[in-house]
Amino acid sequence: MHVLLVEDDEPLAASIANVLQAQGWRVDVSPRGEPVPHSLAQDHYDIVVLDLGLPGIDGLETLRRLREAGHHLPVLVLTARDAIEDRVQGLEAGADDYLGKPFAPVELVARLRALARRHENRLAETQALGLLRFNTQAMRAWIADQPLALTARESVVLQYLLLKTGSIVPREQLSALVPGWTAGTSDNALELLISRLRAKLEPAEVRLRTVRGLGYLLEAHEGHGA
């Protein structure tokens, strides 16, 4: 794993980095919270270990900023604060787990492994294209961090089009998937559904095309992959 450790206590940061590197993980250390969103945008990290008591903007504000910037990777918060309200604030700001100081290195490693596994499981349930994310278990969609309001029929159609990204899906296949529709459902009904869905997807940097005589094609705008 590639870990971003945000901790201003240099001896503690060095100790944690040594523990994580002993697992074969890559570790980058930042002593402040301000650069974190930029760091996450510039490099691929699998997990963030974030201290709350940082100079400048504190850990809670750092966490809020990275979530607002659309970063969904798991975050483990470290803190010497032991009050329940501090833990609640951290979780509400977007933390995935919470570990109080002092802690045993073996527990830190175990917590990070568990977070990484949970994140991988969530990703397996999520289809993504451009800024669009679709959770196949909840049948819910988001554009960046904003929920996308879809009808049940639109959700079914979008899920299938995402599975077939880059391929033309025949009209007949989509019609057969839509709840409540029969072989007698008109092509106009499907075209109307596609038109509404296309309008909703406009901010997502994806394109839903009608391929005349063949069906429909969902793809990312040029330069915006999955």
**What local confidence, expressed as pLDDT, does residue 225 receive?**
47
Same domain? For 144 and 96 the reply is no
Per the structure, the complete domain to which residue 215 belongs is given by 127-220
- pLDDT, the chain, mean: 87
124, 146, 166 - which closes a domain? 124
Same domain? For 115 and 18 the reply is yes
| CB-based contact 190:172 (threshold 8 Å) | no
124, 141, 158 - which closes a domain? 124
**What local confidence, expressed as pLDDT, does residue 222 receive?**
65
| CB-based contact 101:195 (threshold 8 Å) | no
Dist CA 31 CA 10 (whole Å): 8
**What local confidence, expressed as pLDDT, does residue 226 receive?**
43
226 inside domain: no
Structural domains counted in the chain: 2
Same domain? For 83 and 47 the reply is yes
168-182 pLDDT tens trace: 888 888 887 787 776
Same domain? For 39 and 78 the reply is yes
Q: How confident is the model at residue 4 (pLDDT cuts 50, 70, 90)?
A: very high
| CB-based contact 220:129 (threshold 8 Å) | yes
Same domain? For 135 and 211 the reply is yes
Same domain? For 182 and 118 the reply is no
9-58 pLDDT tens trace: 999 999 999 999 999 999 999 999 999 988 887 788 889 999 988 999 99
CA atoms within 13 A on the CB side of 101: 15
**What local confidence, expressed as pLDDT, does residue 183 receive?**
56
CATH code: domain of residue 112: 3.40.50.2300
Same domain? For 74 and 156 the reply is no
